[in-house]
Amino acid sequence: MRTIELRGSQVVLVDQTLLPNKLKFIRCSDAEGVARAIERMQVRGAPALAAAAAMGIAVATLHSKARTKSQLLSELKRAAERIGRTRPTAVNLFVGIRRALSAAQDAKDVGDMKKAVVKEANLIAEEDVKANKKIGANGARLLKNGDVVLTHCNAGALATVDFGTALGVIRAAWRAGKRIKVIAKETRPLLQGARLTAWELKREGIPVTLVTDSAVGHLMSRGEVDVVVVGADRIAANGDTANKIGTYTIAVLAHEHGIPFYVAAPTSTIDMSIKSGKEIPIEYRSPDEVTTIGGIRLAPKGVRALNPAFDVTPSKLITAIITEKGVFKPSRLKVEL
Ligand code: MRU
Protein backbone atom coordinates (compact mmCIF):
# COMPACT_ATOMS: atom_id res chain seq x y z
CA MET A 1 0.00 0.00 0.00
CA ARG A 2 1.34 3.43 -0.96
CA THR A 3 1.01 5.92 1.93
CA ILE A 4 1.33 8.88 -0.39
CA GLU A 5 1.03 9.33 -4.14
CA LEU A 6 0.86 12.03 -6.76
CA ARG A 7 -2.32 11.32 -8.75
CA GLY A 8 -3.07 13.74 -11.58
CA SER A 9 -2.70 17.17 -10.03
CA GLN A 10 -3.43 16.08 -6.45
CA VAL A 11 -1.50 14.52 -3.60
CA VAL A 12 -3.40 11.52 -2.28
CA LEU A 13 -2.38 10.37 1.21
CA VAL A 14 -3.55 8.13 4.03
CA ASP A 15 -5.03 10.25 6.83
CA GLN A 16 -2.94 8.77 9.65
CA THR A 17 -4.90 10.58 12.36
CA LEU A 18 -7.89 8.29 11.68
CA LEU A 19 -6.03 5.00 12.07
CA PRO A 20 -6.54 2.33 13.35
CA ASN A 21 -10.29 2.97 13.20
CA LYS A 22 -10.57 4.12 9.62
CA LEU A 23 -8.35 3.74 6.54
CA LYS A 24 -9.19 6.86 4.58
CA PHE A 25 -7.28 8.71 1.86
CA ILE A 26 -7.40 12.50 1.60
CA ARG A 27 -6.55 14.68 -1.40
CA CYS A 28 -4.52 17.89 -1.32
CA SER A 29 -4.72 20.20 -4.32
CA ASP A 30 -2.21 22.83 -3.27
CA ALA A 31 0.90 23.41 -1.18
CA GLU A 32 -1.18 24.93 1.62
CA GLY A 33 -3.25 21.72 1.84
CA VAL A 34 -0.09 19.62 2.02
CA ALA A 35 1.43 21.92 4.68
CA ARG A 36 -1.75 21.61 6.79
CA ALA A 37 -1.79 17.82 6.41
CA ILE A 38 1.80 17.77 7.72
CA GLU A 39 0.96 20.08 10.64
CA ARG A 40 -2.07 17.98 11.60
CA MET A 41 0.07 14.81 11.38
CA GLN A 42 -2.19 13.34 8.69
CA VAL A 43 1.09 12.55 6.99
CA ARG A 44 4.16 12.01 9.18
CA GLY A 45 7.42 10.08 9.42
CA ALA A 46 10.66 11.44 7.96
CA PRO A 47 10.75 9.74 4.52
CA ALA A 48 7.01 10.32 3.94
CA LEU A 49 7.65 14.01 4.63
CA ALA A 50 10.26 14.15 1.83
CA ALA A 51 7.69 12.79 -0.63
CA ALA A 52 4.93 15.05 0.75
CA ALA A 53 7.10 18.18 0.44
CA ALA A 54 8.15 17.45 -3.14
CA MET A 55 4.60 16.47 -4.15
CA GLY A 56 3.27 19.65 -2.52
CA ILE A 57 5.60 21.68 -4.72
CA ALA A 58 4.62 19.54 -7.72
CA VAL A 59 0.90 20.36 -7.28
CA ALA A 60 1.77 24.04 -6.85
CA THR A 61 3.59 23.84 -10.20
CA LEU A 62 0.74 22.03 -11.93
CA HIS A 63 -1.92 24.51 -10.78
CA SER A 64 0.14 27.61 -11.47
CA LYS A 65 -0.97 30.17 -14.07
CA ALA A 66 2.52 31.68 -14.25
CA ARG A 67 3.69 32.46 -17.79
CA THR A 68 7.39 32.81 -17.19
CA LYS A 69 10.00 30.69 -15.51
CA SER A 70 10.90 33.42 -13.03
CA GLN A 71 7.23 33.96 -12.05
CA LEU A 72 6.76 30.26 -11.47
CA LEU A 73 10.02 29.98 -9.53
CA SER A 74 8.97 32.73 -7.13
CA GLU A 75 5.58 31.00 -6.59
CA LEU A 76 7.39 27.73 -5.89
CA LYS A 77 9.74 29.39 -3.44
CA ARG A 78 6.72 30.70 -1.51
CA ALA A 79 5.18 27.20 -1.52
CA ALA A 80 8.53 25.77 -0.35
CA GLU A 81 8.78 28.30 2.49
CA ARG A 82 5.26 27.41 3.68
CA ILE A 83 6.00 23.67 3.64
CA GLY A 84 9.40 24.27 5.25
CA ARG A 85 7.77 25.98 8.24
CA THR A 86 5.69 22.91 9.18
CA ARG A 87 8.12 20.66 11.06
CA PRO A 88 11.81 21.36 11.75
CA THR A 89 13.40 18.08 12.83
CA ALA A 90 13.18 15.56 9.96
CA VAL A 91 15.84 16.59 7.45
CA ASN A 92 14.00 14.64 4.74
CA LEU A 93 11.35 17.38 4.51
CA PHE A 94 14.07 19.83 3.47
CA VAL A 95 15.68 17.32 1.11
CA GLY A 96 12.28 16.93 -0.63
CA ILE A 97 11.90 20.71 -0.93
CA ARG A 98 15.44 21.19 -2.21
CA ARG A 99 15.16 18.47 -4.83
CA ALA A 100 11.83 19.77 -6.16
CA LEU A 101 13.09 23.36 -6.36
CA SER A 102 16.31 22.41 -8.08
CA ALA A 103 14.39 20.34 -10.67
CA ALA A 104 12.32 23.48 -11.38
CA GLN A 105 15.42 25.66 -11.53
CA ASP A 106 17.15 23.38 -14.05
CA ALA A 107 14.17 23.24 -16.44
CA LYS A 108 14.13 25.55 -19.47
CA ASP A 109 10.56 26.89 -19.52
CA VAL A 110 7.23 26.70 -17.66
CA GLY A 111 6.03 23.57 -19.46
CA ASP A 112 9.30 21.85 -18.82
CA MET A 113 9.27 22.88 -15.16
CA LYS A 114 5.89 21.23 -14.59
CA LYS A 115 7.15 17.95 -16.04
CA ALA A 116 10.48 18.13 -14.21
CA VAL A 117 9.01 18.75 -10.74
CA VAL A 118 6.43 15.98 -11.12
CA LYS A 119 9.17 13.61 -12.31
CA GLU A 120 11.40 14.50 -9.36
CA ALA A 121 8.58 14.03 -6.81
CA ASN A 122 7.75 10.62 -8.26
CA LEU A 123 11.45 9.72 -8.29
CA ILE A 124 11.74 10.57 -4.58
CA ALA A 125 8.84 8.19 -3.91
CA GLU A 126 10.33 5.37 -6.01
CA GLU A 127 13.79 5.81 -4.48
CA ASP A 128 12.28 5.66 -1.02
CA VAL A 129 10.59 2.30 -1.63
CA LYS A 130 13.79 0.87 -3.15
CA ALA A 131 15.93 2.15 -0.27
CA ASN A 132 13.54 0.68 2.29
CA LYS A 133 13.66 -2.77 0.67
CA LYS A 134 17.47 -2.64 0.81
CA ILE A 135 17.43 -1.42 4.43
CA GLY A 136 15.12 -4.35 5.14
CA ALA A 137 17.47 -6.88 3.52
CA ASN A 138 20.56 -5.40 5.23
CA GLY A 139 18.89 -5.29 8.63
CA ALA A 140 17.11 -8.66 8.47
CA ARG A 141 20.52 -10.38 8.67
CA LEU A 142 21.01 -8.87 12.11
CA LEU A 143 17.85 -10.48 13.52
CA LYS A 144 17.83 -14.09 14.67
CA ASN A 145 15.02 -16.59 14.56
CA GLY A 146 13.04 -16.25 17.79
CA ASP A 147 14.24 -12.71 18.60
CA VAL A 148 11.98 -10.30 20.46
CA VAL A 149 12.43 -6.92 18.77
CA LEU A 150 11.45 -3.69 20.49
CA THR A 151 10.51 -0.70 18.34
CA HIS A 152 9.32 2.83 19.04
CA CYS A 153 6.88 5.19 17.33
CA ASN A 154 6.11 4.18 13.74
CA ALA A 155 8.89 3.72 11.23
CA GLY A 156 6.76 1.60 8.93
CA ALA A 157 5.08 1.85 5.53
CA LEU A 158 2.99 4.71 6.91
CA ALA A 159 6.08 6.74 7.83
CA THR A 160 7.58 6.22 4.38
CA VAL A 161 6.12 5.80 0.91
CA ASP A 162 5.95 2.04 1.47
CA PHE A 163 7.59 -0.88 3.36
CA GLY A 164 9.18 1.18 6.14
CA THR A 165 12.65 1.45 7.69
CA ALA A 166 12.68 -0.09 11.19
CA LEU A 167 9.49 -1.99 10.34
CA GLY A 168 11.06 -2.75 6.95
CA VAL A 169 13.82 -4.63 8.79
CA ILE A 170 11.22 -6.51 10.85
CA ARG A 171 9.08 -7.18 7.75
CA ALA A 172 12.06 -8.47 5.73
CA ALA A 173 13.17 -10.78 8.57
CA TRP A 174 9.62 -12.13 8.92
CA ARG A 175 9.27 -12.67 5.16
CA ALA A 176 12.63 -14.49 5.20
CA GLY A 177 11.05 -16.98 7.59
CA LYS A 178 12.49 -15.72 10.90
CA ARG A 179 9.85 -16.21 13.59
CA ILE A 180 10.37 -12.98 15.47
CA LYS A 181 8.07 -11.18 17.87
CA VAL A 182 7.71 -7.43 18.20
CA ILE A 183 7.17 -5.24 21.24
CA ALA A 184 5.64 -1.90 20.19
CA LYS A 185 5.77 1.01 22.64
CA GLU A 186 2.59 3.03 22.59
CA THR A 187 4.49 6.33 22.04
CA ARG A 188 2.82 9.07 24.02
CA PRO A 189 1.45 11.58 23.36
CA LEU A 190 0.23 10.84 19.81
CA LEU A 191 0.34 7.05 20.13
CA GLN A 192 2.00 6.25 16.80
CA GLY A 193 3.09 2.88 18.27
CA ALA A 194 -0.36 1.86 19.47
CA ARG A 195 -2.32 3.26 16.54
CA LEU A 196 0.01 2.77 13.57
CA THR A 197 2.77 0.23 14.30
CA ALA A 198 0.39 -2.25 15.93
CA TRP A 199 -2.00 -1.80 12.96
CA GLU A 200 0.72 -2.39 10.35
CA LEU A 201 2.18 -5.44 12.08
CA LYS A 202 -1.22 -6.99 12.67
CA ARG A 203 -2.09 -6.58 8.98
CA GLU A 204 1.09 -8.46 8.09
CA GLY A 205 0.46 -11.20 10.68
CA ILE A 206 3.64 -10.40 12.63
CA PRO A 207 3.12 -11.10 16.36
CA VAL A 208 3.03 -7.78 18.20
CA THR A 209 2.61 -6.91 21.86
CA LEU A 210 1.80 -3.36 22.87
CA VAL A 211 3.37 -1.90 26.01
CA THR A 212 3.29 1.48 27.72
CA ASP A 213 6.38 3.62 27.23
CA SER A 214 7.33 3.20 30.87
CA ALA A 215 7.45 -0.63 30.68
CA VAL A 216 10.75 -0.79 28.77
CA GLY A 217 13.17 -0.86 31.75
CA HIS A 218 11.20 -3.59 33.45
CA LEU A 219 11.02 -5.76 30.33
CA MET A 220 14.72 -5.35 29.59
CA SER A 221 15.69 -6.17 33.18
CA ARG A 222 13.73 -9.44 32.87
CA GLY A 223 15.52 -10.42 29.64
CA GLU A 224 12.36 -9.96 27.57
CA VAL A 225 13.93 -7.83 24.80
CA ASP A 226 16.68 -9.20 22.49
CA VAL A 227 17.21 -6.27 20.17
CA VAL A 228 15.97 -2.71 19.53
CA VAL A 229 15.32 -1.30 16.04
CA VAL A 230 14.08 2.28 15.60
CA GLY A 231 13.89 4.83 12.79
CA ALA A 232 15.43 8.30 12.57
CA ASP A 233 14.44 11.85 11.70
CA ARG A 234 17.92 13.28 11.34
CA ILE A 235 21.36 11.77 11.81
CA ALA A 236 24.32 14.12 12.34
CA ALA A 237 27.72 13.46 10.73
CA ASN A 238 29.01 11.96 14.00
CA GLY A 239 26.09 9.48 14.15
CA ASP A 240 24.05 11.26 16.85
CA THR A 241 20.43 10.51 15.95
CA ALA A 242 17.19 12.44 16.45
CA ASN A 243 14.10 10.26 16.62
CA LYS A 244 10.72 10.25 18.39
CA ILE A 245 10.80 11.43 21.99
CA GLY A 246 11.61 8.46 24.23
CA THR A 247 14.18 6.92 21.88
CA TYR A 248 17.09 8.20 24.00
CA THR A 249 15.60 6.55 27.09
CA ILE A 250 15.42 3.20 25.28
CA ALA A 251 19.05 3.56 24.13
CA VAL A 252 20.30 4.23 27.68
CA LEU A 253 18.37 1.23 28.98
CA ALA A 254 19.57 -1.00 26.12
CA HIS A 255 23.18 0.00 26.88
CA GLU A 256 22.69 -0.78 30.58
CA HIS A 257 21.34 -4.24 29.72
CA GLY A 258 23.79 -5.06 26.90
CA ILE A 259 21.03 -5.14 24.26
CA PRO A 260 21.94 -4.16 20.64
CA PHE A 261 20.37 -0.85 19.61
CA TYR A 262 19.98 -0.32 15.85
CA VAL A 263 18.82 2.73 13.90
CA ALA A 264 17.35 1.99 10.45
CA ALA A 265 17.24 4.94 8.04
CA PRO A 266 17.93 5.86 4.42
CA THR A 267 21.16 7.80 3.80
CA SER A 268 18.94 10.80 2.91
CA THR A 269 18.25 11.09 6.66
CA ILE A 270 21.96 11.67 7.32
CA ASP A 271 22.71 15.40 7.49
CA MET A 272 26.44 15.69 6.86
CA SER A 273 26.17 19.48 7.10
CA ILE A 274 25.92 19.27 10.86
CA LYS A 275 28.60 17.87 13.12
CA SER A 276 26.64 16.60 16.10
CA GLY A 277 23.18 16.08 17.54
CA LYS A 278 23.44 19.36 19.47
CA GLU A 279 22.74 21.20 16.20
CA ILE A 280 19.56 19.26 15.35
CA PRO A 281 16.47 21.49 15.76
CA ILE A 282 13.95 19.81 18.03
CA GLU A 283 10.26 20.39 17.40
CA TYR A 284 8.15 21.32 20.41
CA ARG A 285 4.46 20.67 19.78
CA SER A 286 1.35 21.99 21.46
CA PRO A 287 1.05 21.22 25.21
CA ASP A 288 -2.58 20.30 24.46
CA GLU A 289 -1.33 17.00 23.03
CA VAL A 290 -0.09 16.15 26.55
CA THR A 291 -2.96 17.53 28.63
CA THR A 292 -5.78 16.10 26.51
CA ILE A 293 -6.44 12.96 24.52
CA GLY A 294 -9.15 12.75 21.84
CA GLY A 295 -10.64 15.97 23.28
CA ILE A 296 -10.76 14.55 26.84
CA ARG A 297 -8.86 16.50 29.49
CA LEU A 298 -6.23 14.45 31.37
CA ALA A 299 -4.67 17.17 33.52
CA PRO A 300 -6.05 20.15 35.43
CA LYS A 301 -6.89 23.14 33.27
CA GLY A 302 -4.05 25.67 33.19
CA VAL A 303 -1.31 23.21 34.19
CA ARG A 304 1.99 23.79 32.36
CA ALA A 305 3.00 20.96 30.03
CA LEU A 306 6.02 20.48 27.76
CA ASN A 307 5.83 18.51 24.55
CA PRO A 308 9.20 17.91 22.86
CA ALA A 309 8.46 15.69 19.85
CA PHE A 310 12.00 14.30 19.41
CA ASP A 311 15.17 13.60 21.36
CA VAL A 312 18.76 12.93 20.38
CA THR A 313 20.49 9.62 21.05
CA PRO A 314 24.28 10.03 21.23
CA SER A 315 26.13 7.87 18.72
CA LYS A 316 28.02 6.02 21.48
CA LEU A 317 24.73 4.31 22.42
CA ILE A 318 23.99 3.15 18.86
CA THR A 319 25.29 -0.30 17.89
CA ALA A 320 24.96 0.37 14.14
CA ILE A 321 23.02 2.36 11.57
CA ILE A 322 21.26 0.23 8.95
CA THR A 323 21.05 2.04 5.59
CA GLU A 324 20.36 1.06 1.98
CA LYS A 325 24.12 1.27 1.38
CA GLY A 326 25.08 -1.07 4.19
CA VAL A 327 25.31 -1.31 7.98
CA PHE A 328 27.69 1.19 9.55
CA LYS A 329 29.10 1.95 12.97
CA PRO A 330 27.88 5.51 13.69
CA SER A 331 31.48 6.74 14.06
CA ARG A 332 32.27 5.45 10.51
CA LEU A 333 29.54 7.38 8.62
CA LYS A 334 31.86 10.16 7.53
CA VAL A 335 34.44 7.71 6.23
CA GLU A 336 32.10 5.21 4.58
CA LEU A 337 29.57 7.53 2.90
O1 MRU B 1 6.37 12.80 14.85
P2 MRU B 1 6.46 11.68 13.85
O3 MRU B 1 5.37 10.68 13.98
O4 MRU B 1 6.60 12.21 12.45
O5 MRU B 1 7.81 10.95 14.21
C6 MRU B 1 8.24 9.87 13.44
C7 MRU B 1 9.47 9.21 13.92
O8 MRU B 1 10.06 9.62 14.90
C9 MRU B 1 9.99 8.07 13.11
O10 MRU B 1 10.67 7.15 13.90
C11 MRU B 1 10.97 8.61 12.05
O12 MRU B 1 10.40 9.65 11.32
C13 MRU B 1 11.41 7.56 11.11
S14 MRU B 1 10.14 7.05 10.03
C15 MRU B 1 10.73 5.91 8.94
* Burial class of residue 26 (count of CB atoms within 10 Å of its CB; 0-12, 13-18, 19+): middle
User: Are 324 and 134 contacting, i.e. CB atoms less than 8 angstroms apart?
Assistant: yes
- Phi and psi at 173, nearest 5°, equal -65, -45
pLDDT attached to residue 1:
85
Going from the Cα of 72 to the center of ligand 1, the distance in angstroms, rounded, reads 32
Alpha-helix residue ranges (DSSP H) falling in 241-297: 247-256, 288-291
Going from the Cα of 243 to the center of ligand 1, the distance in angstroms, rounded, reads 6
Q: Is 233 a catalytic residue?
A: yes
Say which of 30, 147, 233, 311 is annotated catalytic: 233
User: Are 233 and 313 contacting, i.e. CB atoms less than 8 angstroms apart?
Assistant: no
- Please list the pLDDT of the chain residue by residue as tens digits (337 residues): 899 999 999 999 999 999 999 999 999 999 999 999 999 999 999 999 999 999 999 999 999 999 999 999 999 999 999 999 999 999 999 999 999 999 999 999 999 999 999 999 999 999 999 999 999 999 999 999 999 999 999 999 999 999 999 999 999 999 999 999 999 999 999 999 999 999 999 999 999 999 999 999 999 999 999 999 999 999 999 999 999 999 999 999 999 999 999 999 999 999 999 999 999 999 999 999 999 998 999 999 999 999 999 999 999 999 999 999 999 999 999 999 9
Contact 162 CB / ligand 1 (< 6 Å): no
Contact 198 CB / ligand 1 (< 6 Å): no
Contact 96 CB / ligand 1 (< 6 Å): no
Dihedral sign for Cα 283, 195, 47, 250, please: positive
- Give the count of beta carbons closer than 10 Å to the beta carbon of residue 72: 22
Residue 189 preceded by cis peptide, ω within 30: yes
Going from the Cα of 45 to the center of ligand 1, the distance in angstroms, rounded, reads 4
At 135, the amino acid letter reads: I
Q: Where are the beta strands (DSSP E) in 99-224?
A: 148-151, 181-185, 208-211
pLDDT attached to residue 294:
87
At 180, the amino acid letter reads: I
Per the confidence metrics, is the pTM higher than 0.95?
Answer: yes
Contact 169 CB / ligand 1 (< 6 Å): no
User: Are 196 and 163 contacting, i.e. CB atoms less than 8 angstroms apart?
Assistant: no
> In ligand 1, which atom is closest to the CA atom of 153?
10
Which residue's CA lies nearest to atom 15 of ligand 1?
Answer: 155
Going from the Cα of 231 to the center of ligand 1, the distance in angstroms, rounded, reads 7
Contact 88 CB / ligand 1 (< 6 Å): no
> In ligand 1, which atom is closest to the CA atom of 160?
15
